[in-house]
Amino acid sequence: MPLGGQAPRPAALGGAAMVASPHHLASATGLDVLRAGGSAVDACIAMNATLGVVYGHMCGPGGDVFAQVWDPRDGRLTAINGSGRAGEEVTIEAYAARGLVEIPARGVLAANTVPGAVDGWARLHERFGRIAWDRLFAEAIRLADTGAPISEAYREAAVELATELGTAVAGEGVPGGRAPGPGATLRQPDLAASLRLIAGGGPDPFYRGDLAARLVDGLRAAGGLLTRADFAAHRSDWVEPLRTTYRGLEVTELPPNTQGLATLLILNLIETVDVRALGDASPDLIHLFVEATKLAYEDRDRWVTDPDTLEVPYERLLSKDYAAERRALIDPGRAAHPGAPRGGAGEGDTVYLCAVDPDGMACSMIQSLYYELGSGFVAPGTGIVLQNRGCYFRLEPDHPNALAPRKRTFHTLIPAMALRDGRPVLLFGSMGGEGQPQTQATVLTRIVDVGLDVQAAIDAPRWRHGRRWGEARPAVALEGRISEATAAELRRRGHDVERVGPWSSEMGHAQAIAIDRDAGVLSGGADPRSDGSALGW
């Protein structure tokens, strides 16, 4: 893997182990776990638990998780789908009886799928963990109990949600019933107590015990639809990653119900083009990526849902012949105008994190509540914000992602890997909803085609095709560091172009670790658009 180029902040380098996450306190937690003898999976679980405290607007035990793990003991790559299913009473008819034609984005009716993260962590630890389960939650519990300085991103999310709902956010996210002020320290004793139950009892308290009862009873009292039986029935699934090749690398993603298929389709579409020759962030390059994204999303929107409800022709979709057929539809001089992608608009707020341990185990993990602060609902006494992922379901019975009991919804979360000769050389991913496949393709090609190191590839200006919050049609958002001449040329080709800030969170928070086995070097990068860091030794 070439590791050239310079960045304003250099890549973190190490020879033994590396972690990367979107918050520095979580990265420090992961590094501590590795130094204590933990595996890459242990480090990711500990980082994820800590992120649920210090970056709780984006993730936490009330959400879902997905991960890919490469195990050096057998040289095998595997993946886990830790997403929850809709409840037994969560039906199209239940929403129709309430006069609704779509699922609300916030509130208890949006919290209609069982959170899968805790079970996903437990199954990963059973298979790949090396240190005690309770050790993985120690720092998260300490920070929740004694308090942690709240990030500006967390503070802004609490303010925005309080405004959106017209009330204070439920639970501890707004101390004293108000959004936290700049520089505030956030104590979350209820969340600390819930994490202690999970640390002491594993997933059982969350799905079948006292914590499950409080979560469900709180939801039901407020008009929610999930039941105790829904929580008790939850299970994570081990799944086989989808794969394609790009410039001699094998790129892997989780299969549906995630949109990982879209990244692989984009890479297949652009593989025959000399990406480096087009020029980074040039009109030709952005046009190519946006048009490839549109085609990939047409297939994604047709096929990605709960795979138990739809047989997906993966072999055909991921073939190079199919990519050639689709590539012929791209006009290099003119933008196509397909309909807006299905589902909810907006970025989607998520944490991507990754780790490599001294034995070579690699873990690529992603976790989310979907929107910032998810449904906005916290069951009294739990401190756990419940996700609103189920609002992505559609209430049209003939839609591929139509709501049904015990069904998994379309998911944006996609942790990625790239391998050479069956061994990982890159772990990468990003938050960003519709933007995740686009950011993954951009970061990967900057490393593979342009030769940037992981930090420079993440730092460089990005773009994103899709809908922004509250807008009906998709546009191409360009970061402010991309020239106005480029914006003008894209408009001339028919793109609806919007400008955003020079380091906009709308572009996602990407993290990555590159593994150069020949040199014995690990290189980590964390997005300056987040509060993150990559750390190693």
Residue written as tokens 């990754």? 354
Kindly give the pairing relationship between strand 423-430 and strand 416-420. antiparallel
Residue 395 exposed, middle or buried by CB count within 10 Å (0-12, 13-18, 19+): middle
d(CA 319, CA 316): 5
**Cβ distance 532 to 12 under 8 Å?**
no
- Please report, to the nearest 10 degrees, the dihedral formed by the alpha carbons of residues 152, 158, 163, 167 taken in order: -150
d(CA 67, CA 125): 12
Q: How many CA atoms lie within 13 A of 116 on its CB side?
A: 33
d(CA 34, CA 19): 9
- Closest to 118 (Cα-Cα) out of 138, 145, 136, 142: 136
- Closest to 388 (Cα-Cα) out of 365, 370, 403, 404: 370
- Closest to 77 (Cα-Cα) out of 439, 349, 412, 425: 425
Residue written as tokens 């309770």? 134
d(CA 385, CA 370): 11
What angle separates helix 138-146 from helix 40-54, to the nearest 10 degrees? Answer: 10
Report the SS3 class of residue 229.
helix
Which residues have CB under 8 Å from 338's CB, separation 6+?
294, 297, 298
Residue written as tokens 């969350």? 206
d(CA 131, CA 138): 12
Report the SS3 class of residue 86.
strand
d(CA 84, CA 123): 14
**Cβ distance 536 to 16 under 8 Å?**
yes
d(CA 307, CA 276): 37
Which residues have CB under 8 Å from 166's CB, separation 6+?
none
**Phi, then psi, of 532 in degrees rounded to 5:** -95, 180
Going through 325-449 in order, the beta strands assigned E by DSSP cover: 349-356, 362-370, 416-420, 423-430
Active site residue 350: yes
**Cβ distance 251 to 444 under 8 Å?**
yes
Residue written as tokens 């095998």? 76
Exposure string of 487-505, with b = 16+ CB inside 10 Å and e = fewer, is: bebbeebebebeebeebbb
The active-site residue out of 50, 252, 293, 350 is 350
Name the residues annotated as catalytic.
Answer: 350
